[in-house]
């Protein structure tokens, strides 16, 4: 009895801590006048309109979404053949590439960002929009690599065996058995990479920060000139997109399994 009560209280405290800054930002974003007061004075959704109507904010939004779409696609394109090879073949040295795929995510992001800055500056492409897409794809390749590895590990090998016995070669097995089975993992890998790329600041800043503004860069630049309700509206927008995407993954897939709760299907 008291245990349940204590647990509820503890959960409520953690939830409050995680939600508090977002609630304040939500409150600030509906202020009627251009000031940041909380509780908000008046009510207006015009700051949300600003994201789409103001040319500067809109171009930042478009840049961010295009960047995230391209980067996530490239990340999956790198991760898929690698994960497939690691699953299909016994080649211990190929694990080196798996480690390379995981490294950018474990190391502090500043390091990867600085690596890209020196690389693109040396190669002479510094500031081009596509360099940011490649940089993000490499930085976030970890996510599809992890979800796809999980997906391949979940394939019942006897299914593949059966297809092979019936005369299917590697290509047919891949298209008719393997790809349909790992499609959900591919989609979630893409979605993870997309959301994180949308939110990423330091790598985008160090690669294209002086030629292109993504939403996080735009918010950071705007921070220096004072706070506006539009920034709060954009932040709320970000939280909503992330919650929507992860909510969809949870709705259609098993997010607990994706996050490592393997073998808990019984519960």
Nearest CB to another protein, comparing residues 49 and 161: 161
**CA–centroid distance for 30 within its chain:** 27
Nearest CB to another protein, comparing residues 66 and 114: 114
Nearest CB to another protein, comparing residues 129 and 164: 164
189 and 79 Cβ atoms separated by less than 8 Å: yes
Nearest CB to another protein, comparing residues 43 and 122: 122
Residue 149 C-beta-side C-alpha neighbours within 13 Å: 16
Nearest CB to another protein, comparing residues 118 and 154: 118
CB of 32 to another protein, least distance (A): 14
DSSP label at residue 36: -
Q: Which single residue is written with the structure tokens 């016994």?
A: 90
CB of 85 to another protein, least distance (A): 5
CB of 79 to another protein, least distance (A): 7
Tokens of 8: 């509820």
34 and 229 Cβ atoms separated by less than 8 Å: yes
Q: CA distances (Å), 84 to each of 78, 87, 178, in order?
A: 11, 5, 9
Nearest CB to another protein, comparing residues 94 and 179: 94
48 and 234 Cβ atoms separated by less than 8 Å: no
What is the longest distance spanned by two Cα atoms in the chain?
71
CB of 195 to another protein, least distance (A): 5
Contacts with 145 (C-beta within 8 Å, 6 or more apart), sequence order: 79, 82, 83, 98, 101, 102, 189
- Give the whole-angstrom CA distance, residue 88 versus residue 9: 49
CB of 254 to another protein, least distance (A): 9
CB of 151 to another protein, least distance (A): 16
């Amino acid at each position: 009895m008291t245990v349940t009560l204590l647990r509820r209280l503890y959960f409520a405290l953690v939830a409050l801590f995680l939600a508090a800054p977002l609630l304040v930002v939500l409150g600030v974003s509906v202020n009627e006048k251009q000031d940041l007061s909380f509780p908000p004075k008046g009510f207006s959704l015009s700051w949300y309109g600003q994201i789409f109507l103001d040319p500067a904010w809109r171009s930042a939004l478009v840049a961010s979404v295009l960047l995230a779409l391209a980067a996530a696609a490239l990340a999956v394109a790198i991760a898929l053949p690698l994960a497939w090879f690691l699953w299909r073949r016994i080649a211990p040295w190929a694990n080196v590439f798996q480690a390379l795929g995981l490294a950018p995510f474990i190391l502090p992001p500043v390091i990867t960002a600085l690596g890209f800055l020196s690389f693109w500056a040396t190669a002479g492409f510094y500031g081009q929009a596509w360099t940011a897409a490649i940089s993000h794809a490499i930085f976030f390749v970890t996510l599809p690599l992890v979800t796809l590895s999980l997906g391949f590990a979940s394939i019942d090998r006897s299914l593949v065996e059966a297809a092979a016995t019936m005369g299917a070669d590697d290509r047919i097995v891949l298209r008719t058995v393997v790809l349909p089975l790992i499609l959900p993992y591919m989609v979630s890998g893409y979605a993870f990479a997309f959301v994180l790329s949308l939110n990423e600041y330091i790598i985008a800043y160090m690669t294209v920060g002086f030629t292109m503004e993504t939403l996080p860069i735009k918010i950071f630049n705007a921070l220096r000139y004072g706070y506006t309700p539009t920034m709060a509206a954009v932040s709320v927008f970000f939280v909503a997109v992330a919650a929507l995407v992860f909510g969809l993954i949870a709705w259609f897939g098993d997010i607990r399994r994706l996050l490592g709760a393997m073998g808990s299907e019984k519960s």
